[in-house]
Amino acid sequence: MDKSFSTSQSKSKKKGRSGNTFFLKAIAMPALMVLFCIFFSPAAQAQDKIIQKNGKEIKAKVLGTDSQYIRYKRFDNPTGPDYFLFRSDVLKIEYENGKTETQTEPEKVTQEPARKTPVNTETLERKIAKYQKRSMTFLTAGSVAIVAGAITILKLTGDYNKYKTAVQGTNDSYTSWYQTNYKTAPPAGDLQKQESFSAFASPGIYGGAAALISGLALDLIGLRNMQLARKARTELANKQQELSLQPFYDASYQTTGLKIALSF
């Protein structure tokens, strides 16, 4: 009785050991292998995800960001070079700790080219008109003054020549009469003395000279304004040419897709 019981008990122990071995081979070992793959496979390790605006997803380890670039290493090559992406190309970053960083796109401001406003052109046109008006006014006034001064001086010169002729005729007649009656030349004090041109023509000669000088000065001012008007017309023509040829540039446009890889 005891021998049969011990025999059956030893058989049950053998069955238990074989059952445990079967459990280890059939269930435990595959489970351990699955756990090993889960914990030690690259896909299971913590990783960041960079999602671009074009829908492409990059598995990476983000090393840092700034206002323009995102610096990262590829997850499948952690010892490889650093890569860079434009922040403007990235929609969001999903970090390994569950935090999500959405890339807010800055407000786009379209910059117009540095065109000169019509106000500047109108200002130049007003300057041209002003200089032309001044030029005509001063040149006209100067010309009138010069003509008046010249006429005055010519008239006084003619009158002075007539005066000299009259005085000379009077002296010649007196000298002839005196020699006929006294057989000698008349005393110098008896002859009529001629005045100088300045004494004869005064004060008209000074008025004429002043008119000539003033006319020349006015003409110089008029010529100066004419030169300024010509300069303003040239500047206006250059500005109009710049406005017609200057291309449009949109500074907010940026070429995307550029990636820079650096090795350290």
**3-state DSSP assignment of residue 248:** coil
Question: What percentage of the chain has pLDDT greater than the value 90?
Answer: 25
Quickly count: other Cβ atoms within 10 Å of residue 158's Cβ. Answer: 10
User: pTM of the prediction?
Assistant: 0.45
Q: Provide the H-helix boundaries in 63-203.
A: 118-182, 197-201
Name every residue whose Cβ is closer than 8 Å to that of residue 41 and which is 6 or more positions away in sequence.
Answer: none
pLDDT single digits (tens) 206-252: 999 999 999 999 999 999 999 998 988 898 888 877 766 555 444 44
pLDDT at position 236 is 84
pLDDT single digits (tens) 209-221: 999 999 999 999 9
In whole angstroms, what is the distance from residue 176 CA to residue 193 CA?
17
